[in-house]
């Protein structure tokens, strides 16, 4: 199984809010990242060359995104399509079907296939069975391995396992990808210690 940690950041909580960043990190058998794709993206311009973002101020505050600086560094959705497609194809051709994981990972995939490559293209390279770390966390709570009152948000559950989240760009797609890797390592240790 070829694991890929993934995360996106967007301009809000609904799927119609603008996708702002995408990060994938393919892992080797030791759960170390060996190939990473990290993109800042923005909507395609209209006929007059204007870019219209669909955002919520609270989301930008949480993600620490300065939209003016973001806009300067980001590529358009149209420009990102061949980059994402080619990265997925290359990883698939080299390592086989890709299994994506992350906290609420299906939302990330839905954002990617809504704004960049098509769902059909995605399915050519990626296993439809994903690993949602929030579901694993719920299972471990049910099994009594994690306290029921422990938040399963990515930053809080990784802190629970002793990860220094200040080393990562929390609420950034690349930082959350790395936190996701730390979380999956800790979940696997937790499961392997089950009697």
pLDDT in tens, 136-178: 999 999 999 999 999 999 999 999 999 999 898 778 999 999 9
What's the structural domain count of the chain? 1
Q: Work out whether strand 75-76 and strand 131-132 pair parallel, antiparallel, or are unpaired.
A: unpaired
pLDDT in tens, 80-135: 999 999 999 999 999 999 999 999 999 999 999 999 999 999 999 999 999 999 99
Name the β-bridge partners of 10: 19
What contacts 94, CB < 8 A, 6 or more positions away?
A: none
Q: Does the model's pTM come out above 0.85?
A: yes
Residues 190 and 61: their CA atoms lie apart, in Å, by: 34
| 16 vs 31: which has the higher pLDDT | 31
Domain containing residue 124: CATH number: 3.30.420.10
Residues 4 and 26: their CA atoms lie apart, in Å, by: 4
Helices (H), 40-172: 57-63, 67-73, 77-95, 105-115, 119-125, 133-142, 154-160
| 68 vs 13: which has the higher pLDDT | 68
| Structural domain span for residue 109 | 2-192
């Amino acid at each position: 199984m070829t694991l890929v940690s993934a995360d996106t950041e967007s301009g809000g909580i609904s799927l119609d809010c603008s996708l702002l960043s995408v990060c994938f990190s393919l892992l080797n058998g030791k759960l170390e990242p060996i190939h990473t794709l990290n993109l800042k993206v923005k909507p395609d311009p209209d006929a007059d060359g204007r870019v219209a973002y669909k955002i919520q101020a609270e989301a930008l505050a949480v993600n620490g995104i300065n939209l003016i600086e973001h806009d300067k560094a980001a590529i358009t959705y149209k420009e990102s399509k061949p980059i994402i497609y080619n990265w997925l194809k290359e990883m698939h051709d080299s390592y086989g079907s890709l299994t994506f994981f992350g906290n609420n990972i299906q939302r990330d995939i839905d954002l990617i296939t809504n704004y960049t490559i098509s769902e059909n293209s995605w399915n050519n390279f990626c296993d439809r069975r994903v690993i949602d770390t929030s579901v694993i966390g719920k299972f471990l709570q049910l099994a009594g391995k994690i306290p029921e009152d422990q938040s399963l948000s990515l930053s809080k559950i990784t802190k629970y396992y002793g990860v220094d989240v200040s080393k990562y760009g929390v609420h950034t797609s690349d930082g959350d990808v790395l936190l996701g890797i730390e979380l999956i390592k800790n979940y696997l240790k937790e499961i392997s210690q089950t009697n």
